[in-house]
Structure 1
Amino acid sequence: MDLDRSFVIREDDLRILNPFDDDKLAALGRAIRLRPDDTLLDLCSGKGELLCTWSRTHGVRGTGVDLSTVFTAAARRRAVELAVADRVRFVHDDAAGYVHPEKVDVAACVGATWIGGGVVGTIDILARALRPGGMLLVGEPYWRREPPDQETVAACHATARDDFDDLPGLIRRVQAHGWDVVEMVLADQDSWDRYAAAHWLTLRRWLDAHPDDDLAEGFRQELTEDPVRHVRYRREYLGWGVFALLRR
């Protein structure tokens, strides 16, 4: 049980594995008014940057769960680096089926709602671990602008326009499922660029070092096509944000 090798290679030089930068991640921690010793569960925790930096800054405790052995190992190293290893732990497991032994103050899935087949299913997974009155954090794409054609839709990692809502539609969907949206921090075009372009440099350096690898041909094509795809489609049409939810 592990994450596909290609994903691990793309994210090799990144600490935050979504279109947030350090400032936006810090802003989210402040926005939701974390308190010392709040408990968090972070599903699909990646390299643990959310949990580790919030533990250092706000004094929270928690558990991160991720399918990748590489990311989980990196998260444990980050916890040691930030001197919070006594307050956070990281588990290699399938987040979709993970059962946390205790109820938590905050349950998060920031950018991996595929674990629940979409936003609504992921909310239901997170809610299982939440104490009464606790908060959910859900990271999700949305349409910044209405995609004009299927080419734009496909370039934004969707199969159909209805795979994503626009921002009002996303909030209405959450509300209709019985949750209030009480905070949000949104990626912007610059943070999208920082996330996307970091992959290009990583891929180029990897290709230079591994020209005969089985993945090289596909990565070469990706490096040729993805910069154009990003600037023409994703940074213009696709938004992304993290939404804080409280049960109605």
Structure 2
Amino acid sequence: MELLRLPTDAQVVDIACGKGEFLIRLAETYGARGLGIDISPFFIAEAERRIDLRTPGGGIGFTRMNGADFKPDEPERLDLASCIGASWVFGGHAETLEALYPMVRPGGWIVVGEPYWRQEPPEDYLKASGIAKEAFGSHYSNAQAGERLGLDLVHAIASDKDDWDRYEGLQWYATNEYASTHPDDPDLAAVVERVEKDKETYLRWGRDTLGWAIYLFRRRIRRDQ
């Protein structure tokens, strides 16, 4: 967050903002103003509740819509545009960068989060997870997608296996807790079966195969630089 060094009242947008945590932190740190977009009414409601608690009266708003349909009022005016963990909105990692590029001013930031293959994905893993091999590239190819567009990769933050263990493990824990307190839920068996399948897939293959990183790209002052 501190690496961004945004100007006061920076103009920002976060596509597929979820519960708004990234935008809320930008508002807390820089007084950022702008918009969070998500297709889920539940996430939008929670984002609005959180920002009212933490930065009441600020300049961040949230709206429910398909992020691919968003167009800023003016091109090349935003200080930051982000899409973290939702490149499917635009059809892939490179397509996400291409969509965000014209939104930001020269010198502005594009922040994306994207999986990558740590190693050649085993066929059994692809079959069990339902992920197509071509869905993701390597850590290097994720970086190069921005460079080819005229962005400088300024920083990358890659999750390690401990981060993955915590992320996955909290889902197992939450499912177990829910099962113990809601034994009569008619959907419980299906939920537990899915989570157990995902757990096995992660432990057998996913932990060593799939990575995740947040990429901080900066738009060059001149595209041909």
**TM bucket normalised to smaller:** 0.7 to 0.9
State the Cα deviation string for residues 179-211 of structure 1 (Å, max 9, x = none): 221211122222222222222223333444264
For residues 56 and 81 of structure 2, the distance between their equivalents in structure 1, rounded to whole angstroms, comes to 19
Does residue 1:118 correspond to 2:92, yes or no?
yes
Residue of structure 1 aligned with 2:31, choices 39, 51, 59: 59
Residues 172 and 79 of structure 1: CA distance in aligned 2, closer, same or farther (over 3 Å): same
Instruction: Please give the alpha-carbon distance, in whole angstroms, between the structure 1 residues aligned to 2:22 and 2:14.
Output: 8
TM-score norm. by structure 2 comes to 0.87
Q: Do structure 1's residue 184 and structure 2's residue 128 form an aligned pair?
A: no
**Post-superposition CA distance 1:146-169 (Å, at most 9, x none):** 22x211234555222x32111112
How much identity, in percent, do the aligned residues show?
31
Distance between the aligned counterparts of 1:157 and 1:136, measured in 2?
Answer: 29
Partner of 1:104: 78
Following TM superposition, by how much is the alpha carbon of 1:71 offset from its aligned partner in structure 2, in angstroms? 0.4
Choose 1 or 2 for highest CA Rg. 2
Residue identity in the other structure for 1:153: L
Q: CA deviation at 1:114?
A: 0.3
The verdict on how the C-alpha distance between 1:34 and 1:157 changes in structure 2, with shifts beyond 3 A counting, is farther
Q: How does 1:1-248 map to 2 (within 5 A)?
A: 29-102=1-74, 103-147=77-121, 149-155=122-128, 158-160=131-133, 162-207=134-179, 208-209=181-182, 211-213=184-186, 215-247=187-219, 248=223
Name the CA shift for 1:152/1:58 in 2 (closer, same or farther; >3 Å).
same
CA distance in 2, matches of 1:210, 1:67: 31
Residues 92 and 31 from structure 1, CA distance in 2 versus in 1: closer, same or farther, beyond 3 angstroms? same
Q: Is the 8 A contact 1:72 1:90 kept in 2?
A: yes
**Pairwise CA distance, 1:96:** 1.1
What TM-score results when the alignment is normalised by the length of structure 1? 0.79
* Counterparts of 2:183 and 2:48, CA distance in 1: 27
- Render the CA deviation track for 1:199-245: whole Å, top value 9, x for unaligned: 222333344426443x4332121222222222222222111111112
The whole-number CA distance in structure 2 between the counterparts of 1:80 and 1:216 is 34
Q: Distance in 1 between matches of 2:158 and 2:105?
A: 26
* Aligned residue pair count: 217
List runs of 5+ in structure 1 lacking aligned partners: 1-28
For the aligned residue pairs, the C-alpha RMSD in angstroms reads: 2.0
- For 2:213 and 2:129, locate their aligned partners in 1 and report how far apart those are by CA, in whole Å: 15
More moved, 150-159 vs 191-200: 150-159
Distance 1:87 1:154, change over 3 A: farther
